[in-house]
Structure 1
């Protein structure tokens, strides 16, 4: 945090919006549209409603624990189970790594659409190279202690939101005033499971507001400010996603099928072509995507680093991960987060990374909603939102996994393997004392038998 007065409501809203809109729309739009087509906007709406309900659960739990909140703290406070709290924390860390890998993937995809930039050099594709270099660059910036001030964040997020709102409104105007084809909303799909599947996949695009809970010491009137910020930022993010989803599907349905990762660029080109500025429109969106995904990597890396530092202080991560007494984010922690992110983005597919990150956040957000629902007798908790958050997350997960299994079995197995590996590593770490005792018992029994 910058020195001086803490961040106010405007800065808190900017941080939350920056985390959601900073890279999510550029990275997941094509994946979501590939599942549910014209009903993409409806999938974003469903995900946004569940995210807003989960946010209420976080806000309520945070007020109960007097503003020292966060998923790990909530689990420790209400269950007293350090192993469960640690596993939640590790799951979130892997979710943040998945998010950063997703942003780095999209960063490279849009970077390669810039004029004069080749897709490969010789037989070496540049997408993984650019993604890894982007991660390395932002790790370097964080090692130097670079961070945008609250005032700068207001300006930067304002520009990103303005560009996407202009794109969305302009796309609708194009659809109704210029295009001879009717704007499609996919109403016929509302009764199907397609939008629910897509909502689960898009859930990762709504996780940015949670970053506020890790910076409470630097926020003025933290509990009240965070409450207002999440209730403002999530609806604004939903509105932006709705407009962009409708506009992109109308302007570039073919691009969403052929080049889903960069369909926004093709849509902007078509819209700006009406006034003879097709190239400029595509360039503005591409540059906006580069800046947005880059800043999202930076912000998520910074917050994830501080989150990991807190876990180190609570002995929920191995000491080798970093030194919790170090000023700022421990350097080893940043390097480790960067290395794992680079590996994910270099060797994974965007769909696999997106689905894995969504699974992580669905599980944690659903768990926190359930925790709040169990404490619905407290005055801070409202029953209906916590129930919707719990049921929504519980519904998203199996439907999303079923879709993956039937439509893209390779991705399903990748997500399943990653999930099993993460849970196995968590159990091996947090139950290591129990395992050691069991191994010693087996060794003693073998010795006696021999």
Structure 2
């Protein structure tokens, strides 16, 4: 199967070199597709990608090639906003945002004061992510620093590329979750221990404006100014009641976004989850600062928060990405996220093509997270994170795929009908880390 450095895989390969546009067909040069392709790995990186017939003569003598013909390989899926500490409250009876936090989220996150629990959930979450074909995510922990020590340690053992951070919250939450005395110091220690450790990056993580004082948010902004290689993740304009609460807590501000702007939290590595209730002025300001919105369609539908305006984002130049937002989201699967995004788009008169969906889930999400020089494409020198997809994973999927005559039709069928059963294998750092038939 492998030599000391080489792993050779023969399969159909699909990857996006750039945004394919909104048309029924991808724009010229954006799609890289090899019907009978070869993916050549050397260690943790991709050495070469191309047609099997063209690369085969240059293979080392005696090389064994893994034959995955009949399977489709794409870059590993990327999830830009997810709460690992909420894995066990998925599918709790629906509430709107603020009730959801008080009834489910806060009680659940109190459990992460126990380090053994954090270790167990870290590994369970990573198992589920890999089962779903996701190889990179931007992840919220709890407010306990140990929740992040456990998570980062579990990621390093698997050599995964991850962004994550301890939640900062010093008001409007249960006493066991408040970190007024230690939140910033704990964050500084976590950054020292884990930022740039192997494939890890640290995201400074104020939960959202209502649970952080101005003092705490200003301190978070200072961390970003002192180290521009850090990321920032929080929430913005998810729910109309949330907007009213922010206006009450921060009187005199222009709008919700200005609360974050004044704290220095809006920059080119800043991800704001949801962004449903924005006007074009806020979208333009986000675009000017290079920040992005994480579009969380299944969560928005589940909590009844509203419909993300993808076209308004594009018209104002505001970057956005695709995310599961577990645990209010209903599935860790990137397929499910795209299906929900398609449904949101249909309700808004903004249809999502398979080209846009799978570009967004791979190269597009990598670009919004400033990771596109490392992951998101099947290309030489990129890290070897990818998924092997079985388009015949279920009888229904097989029947539908048999009726498809083009790659676009097949990708759309996967976007709507596939689930984690279609993830045959998930590879990260050049190693197979999930096999469907052995899990």
> TM > 0.5 between the two?
no
Which of structures 1 and 2 has the larger relative contact order (alpha carbons within 8 angstroms, sep 6+)? 1
TM-score by length of 2: 0.25
Structure (1 or 2) with the greater strand fraction: 2
TM-score by length of 1: 0.25
Structure (1 or 2) with the greater helix fraction: 1
